[in-house]
Structure 1
Amino acid sequence: MEATQELELQTRAIDEGERNSHKDTSITNQWQLPGVVHYKWWLRVIIYILFLLAGQSAATLLGRLYYDKGGNSKWMATFVQSAGFPILLPLLFFFSHSTKLTTTINTTKPKLSTLVLLYIAFGLLLTGDNLMYSYGLLYLPVSTYSLLCATQLAFNAIFSFFLNSQKFTPFILNSLVLLTISASLLAINADSENTTGVSKGKYVIGFLCTLGASAAYSLYLSLVQLSFQKVIKRETFSAVLDMQIYPSFVATCGCVVGLFASGEWKILAKEMNGYEEGRVSYLMTLIWTAVTWQISSVGLLGLIFEVSSLFSNVISTLALPAVPILAVVFFHDKVNGVKVIALLLAIWGFISYIYQHYVDDAKLKANKTSTNEVSGSTVEDQI
């Protein structure tokens, strides 16, 4: 009898030790997991930033090369902005079956019909937006066009405030002002194209199209962020790829229809044969333009998903001063004091925005630490 009681006491001691061990492990995980997730988040954000800056800068330079060497088709320039989506399909197949990057918010998937309507709407919005940009560049001087494009940051701030509950702090406002001034300085300083022969009516059309395209693009960014939060509700890289691939497919189909409806497809062969660098260079320019736009779009959507649409637009605006620097290397453009000041202002604005996220992150970590200390002391009291 005594041996049985002693055996029961030993068993209870072992069970109690295992429970205490699980509690200690749980407490340890509470302290370690946030740090691991924190560094993984920053790594993803840095990768997306590099994708966006490198992709947008390269795509812009290649687009300039296309026009400088004899390219002339508005619909072809619009087409290559979305036609490169097939290169993302292998990534989609891989990540759709891989481990999720972060914890899933909601395991319930949205209806297929809802997703189809969402992708079609975004695809058509992108088609119209890219076409308006093409018309603006056709009918406006480069300086005016660039100045109007810089307004998308202000439009995005407004849409983010109403649709995404974006809070404006002094550092964020400072960042928006500095980046807008930086882009405006580049626009004012840019060499204007010869617009001789453009009627006043076409000039007004170009002005309104560019302004409307800036507003439409900002609305697109805010709606994408809202869709991730309210409809998709999946924190996976495959969700980011879905948002890029399917709307791009719809936009590409829209561009093909526009290319044939406008009759521009008839002049493409002549355009390719008359390209200054040759037919192979013509094809490679279009192909790599499409590829770099896809890289840029993945970075853009990733930043919307991980941070916010306003942050992604800030990084996108940061690329504007980088393009003239790259143009000095590849196109031998002249560098002057205005470009240097614009670059410094953009870096200042970028640091200001990053510092605000650092402050928010520090407050979040402090709150988690205090919460863990309270939960840890409660567990110790229970033990």
Structure 2
Amino acid sequence: MKLTNLLTGAALALGLATSAGAQDKTKVGFIYVGPIGDGGWTYEHDKGRLAVEQHFGDAVETVYQESVPEGADAERAITQMALQGADLIFTTSFGYMEPTLSVAGKFPDVKFEHATGYKTAPNMSVYSARFYEGRAVQGHIAGKMTKSNVIGYIASFPIPEVIRGINSAYIHAKRVNPDVEFKIIWAYTWFDPAKEADAATALIEQGADVILQHTDSTAPQAAAEKAGGVITFGQASDMGEYAPLPRVSSIIDNWAPYYIARTQAVMDGTWESVNTWDGIAPGMVEIGEISDAVPADVKSEALAMKDAIASGDYHPFTGPLKKQDGSDWLADGEAADDATLAGMNFYVEGLEGDIPQ
């Protein structure tokens, strides 16, 4: 009888200890707009999640939900994650901003982090990367390498982040090649390989021999490879399986350091609402290897620009620059302020077409 009681007590104690250990884990959740195997945006966010697991080991538990549509579905997914005990939730697409804000108001003890948005709350931060810095480097290479002088751009949604990217790439292509022309197709999706492939093919048929993209799959790379004689750039991830051609370089989003730091802050009890917008200098934006398909002098110039941006010696939006309607924007040597960039809703002079409303 006594032995049975001892065994029962030991089992109970072990169970309580196991339960306490599980409760002591910090639970970190991620909501993704695409599949983790998209090879681009979501793939890189999930690499950040895996880095959190590797860094903290048994001290954390991570969970994720992929391919969550923006809107009401997102609010349901975020709510469910909060109800399941997440301490920290990263929502990783612009269209998740309002759903995240709504759920944050209902769960004041949970910390929320929203990627690429601008609305915050006491328990909700926002974070993004200065992708336009990488677009400047891409634009320089594109302007130097195009033979048709037609550069195609697959745009996702007409939000400031995407408009900044188009403007930055165009400015830097135009500065090294005054004859360059941009053709833009709005795909109205972040991830849809069929739509992205169709957009790339349409741009190539319009004479583009360079394709830039602000969509998440590798489908444009495959379409360019099939067409031949077209160069591309990886978006969000290296997409190096298409190097050295058609993919000649890439913008890589490195979220791991941010995710580790914010998880640590929750564990330490030091987390507070912040607005983070980092670029090449802190390493949130990386330039993927420039392949040997790029002439040595162009590669050297591109890397010099990258270094100048990182050091603060050069800002991609430096005047003289005018808006599309011909009105003055930036004087000679003047750099754009963050407030204007964050809300950018106009094309620079030279770009054709209207921004969809």
TM-score by length of 1: 0.28
Larger RCO (CA within 8 A; separation ≥ 6): 1
Instruction: Determine which structure has more spread, i.e. the larger CA radius of gyration.
Output: 1
Compute the TM-score of the two structures, normalised by the length of structure 2. Answer: 0.29
More strand by share: 2
